Structure 1
Amino acid sequence: MTDQRWAIDIDRDQIANAQIVAAPEPELPEGAIEVTIELYAMTANNVTYAVFGKPLGLFGNDQGYWDFFAERDTPGRLPVWGFATVSRSHHDGVPEGTRLYGYFPMASHAVLMPGRVGPHGFTDMTPRRTTLPVIYNQYQRIDALGDYRAQDHDYWPVFRPLFLTGWLIADLLEDESDYGAQQVLVASASSKTAIGLAYALGQRSARPRIVGLTSAGNAAYVGSLGLYDEVVTYDAIGAMDAGKTSAMVDMAGNPQVAASVHNHFGDALKASIVVGKSHWDSADDGTAMAGPARQMFFAPGRSEKRIGEWGPDQFRQKLEAAWLGFADLAPRLLGIEKRAGADAALAAYRETVEGKADAKTGLVITP
């Protein structure tokens, strides 16, 4: 953590174009707090946030991920998951020194407007955020997290939000009786969301086979995780049993991989779920695809559905129990690489956008 104040501005149309900018200390409005960001993770999921930064209908309105931390007609500020400490406060319910977990900009500091303050945390009520999915606007006090353990600290921003997504996908599959599939094909099996999904599926007493689809370069690593029943490289999809009923969960949104699976399995593919778009530069070449229509999975929507059905306390308890089991495995699944400062943050972003990040490493930034 540094006393320097900075942020990274990103071109909303060309996400590879990014630069460090100075971020002078702003005047703090009444009821607001400023946090100093301690640590955040940089993963392929952040690239998905950038790809869906502009309004694309994902939130059911004219907003996108750029609207969390930047006003319209200004450069984008990329959302990241991490930890922060309240360094200035004009809100009696959130004093200085409060440590938080949540959604922050890729920067050294952030200003938030706490509302609905309670023992577990608060919701940011910054006007532009009030019509965005509430799950992104909630900030949790670290000392009130039922499943936070100090030994997991560095793994939280790397895995926790993506584990939640994987856990919710597994919940959807179970709710839909796996769409009648004998096997679930997990594309981009080395991704952290895929790892969370594979773990969650593996906890079921009755489940389909879990097949990881990955690049040749990542095949050995994916196999070493011990979470997949089988690992298949992308160039070997054509050798799979095309008659086995399957469901695909596509973590990267690569149209070439999707076409290979769809056209190989055809009517035996019972569902095709798209989760992310980390392969942002893989253009859709217009190739016709057999099988089912692709459906987008939106984790906030699934969370809101289950919170409505189970209630927030039961939802939290189920998630906490699942996370604690997974967190015990996390150090075996990957190592943590820490980088410090603005230059390192920008370099890490560029590496991730260019697809050069090491799947075996959890990359965390200390601003």
Structure 2
Amino acid sequence: MTRWAIDIDRDDITQAVVSDAPEQPLAEGEIEVAVELFAMTANNVTYAALGKPMGFLGPDAGYWDFFGDRGAPGRLPVWGFARVTRSTVPGLAEGEELYGYWPLASHAVLRPERVGAVGFVDAMPRRQALPAFYNRYQRVSALDDYDVADRDYWPVFRPLYLTGWLIADQLFDEQENLAQVIATAASSKTALGFAHAMREQTKRPLLIGLTSPGSAAFVAETGLYDRVVTYDAVGEIAIGGETALIDFAGNPAVAAEVAARLDESLTFAMGVGKTHWEATGEGPRMAFFFAPARIEKRGAEWGGDAFRAAIGESWGRFMRDVRDLTRLDRREGADGALVAYREAVTGTADPRASVIVAGLA
């Protein structure tokens, strides 16, 4: 099947099937791209779990809204590379390679506006009320800090390392007296990026990785955390000094147990992801991290060039370490994409693997 899409049940994200996606005629001002390479990580599970409007992306917006109309099956957003296959837009020729946010499908249709040397913004009507950060597409030829040798790692880590770096930056900016930081879902790619960014600081708090028993060995092997604690051993976390909880798991029961253990020592809690998407219950009150807002803040304070330079330098150091942290696991086509999604959503993916999918097998 050369043209396909993965249809996901919006009410039960474990239900997903491959569907045929025939070529559609292009309207004036539109382009079609073939999605060549993308990643499948726990972050994509967060997108699915927050697919419906939940107030996070806006009062009436969710992650399903990027690539599907209400009432249609959910199309999961993924990060990666695509190539223009058809174009009615001057300045975007067939063969142009792009980096950005795509549907879990072999092809996508976009409506570029503000086309320039760096890239463009997708102006599809359904995306107008969604955060602009996700609507920007970059020409690969104009990507900052891109090295073709790192191509396979870009879809996996570039957006997630940026998120982790921004969280670490916010902690050092706003929480100066922390004695320790606890990261849940410590094996997730975003948490690994966060831990790497934290360890770059010469004066930093103790970093504790909270994870499942099955992932504990891998998390310890990364060397990114000062201590690894499993979810069934929260009572072993030391109490003393100001502590922050960075919650990548989104499991209210785990967060509540940590809060009960630390009591007044827990001075800051931030929600980041929903990798434990099936978990329910009441957890402690926490701020919710939103990367686009932090990018806007630092861009305004430092200026765009200084901000990009800081990210680029840190990213370069991470790229030198990434091959020791995970191994690449390459999948092919619709069937490969479906299996990768099912592994991610059921929590059976190997934490040591960085899963990438070639869209056109």
Same fold (TM over 0.5): yes
SS, match of residue 128 in structure 1: helix
Counterparts of 1:149 and 1:10, CA distance in 2: 34
Deviates more, 1:328-337 or 1:225-234: 225-234
Q: What is the TM-score of this pair, normalised by structure 2? A: 0.96
Counterparts of 2:238 and 2:332, CA distance in 1: 47
Counterparts of 1:89 and 1:309, CA distance in 2: 38
Counterparts of 2:129 and 2:304, CA distance in 1: 20
Counterparts of 1:239 and 1:352, CA distance in 2: 29
Deviations 1:123-168 (A, max 9, x none): 1111111221111111111111121111111111111111011001
Which residue type is aligned with residue 279 of structure 1? H
SS, match of residue 202 in structure 2: coil
Provide the residue aligned with 1:36 in structure 2.
34
Provide the residue aligned with 1:250 in structure 2.
247
Match of 1:73 among 67, 71, 74: 71
What does 1:1-367 correspond to in 2, within 5 Å?
4-178=2-176, 180-284=177-281, 286=282, 293-367=285-359
- Would you say the 8 A contact 2:185–2:275 is kept in 1? no
Counterparts of 2:99 and 2:325, CA distance in 1: 22
How many residues were matched structurally?
359
Q: Where do 4+ consecutive residues of structure 1 move more than 4 Å?
A: none
Structure 1 residue 230: Cα displacement:
1.4
**Runs of 5+ unmatched residues, structure 2:** none
- Would you say the 8 A contact 2:82–2:99 is kept in 1? yes
SS, match of residue 74 in structure 1: coil
Which residue type is aligned with residue 255 of structure 2? A
Deviations 1:20-67 (A, max 9, x none): 111111111111110001010001100100111111111223111111
Deviations 1:315-335 (A, max 9, x none): 222212211111111111000
Q: Identity of aligned pairs, percent?
A: 54
Deviations 1:201-254 (A, max 9, x none): 111122111111112221111111111111122222202222332111011111
Counterparts of 2:307 and 2:159, CA distance in 1: 15
Structure 1 residue 11: Cα displacement:
1.2
Deviates more, 1:301-310 or 1:140-149: 301-310
Which residue type is aligned with residue 211 of structure 2? T
Counterparts of 1:349 and 1:241, CA distance in 2: 37
- Would you say the 8 A contact 2:183–2:191 is kept in 1? yes
Counterparts of 1:297 and 1:139, CA distance in 2: 23
Which residue type is aligned with residue 99 of structure 2? Y
Which residue type is aligned with residue 134 of structure 1? A
Counterparts of 2:107 and 2:77, CA distance in 1: 12
- Would you say the 8 A contact 2:241–2:265 is kept in 1? yes
Structure 1 residue 351: Cα displacement:
1.2
Counterparts of 1:214 and 1:72, CA distance in 2: 35
CA RMSD of aligned residues (A): 1.3
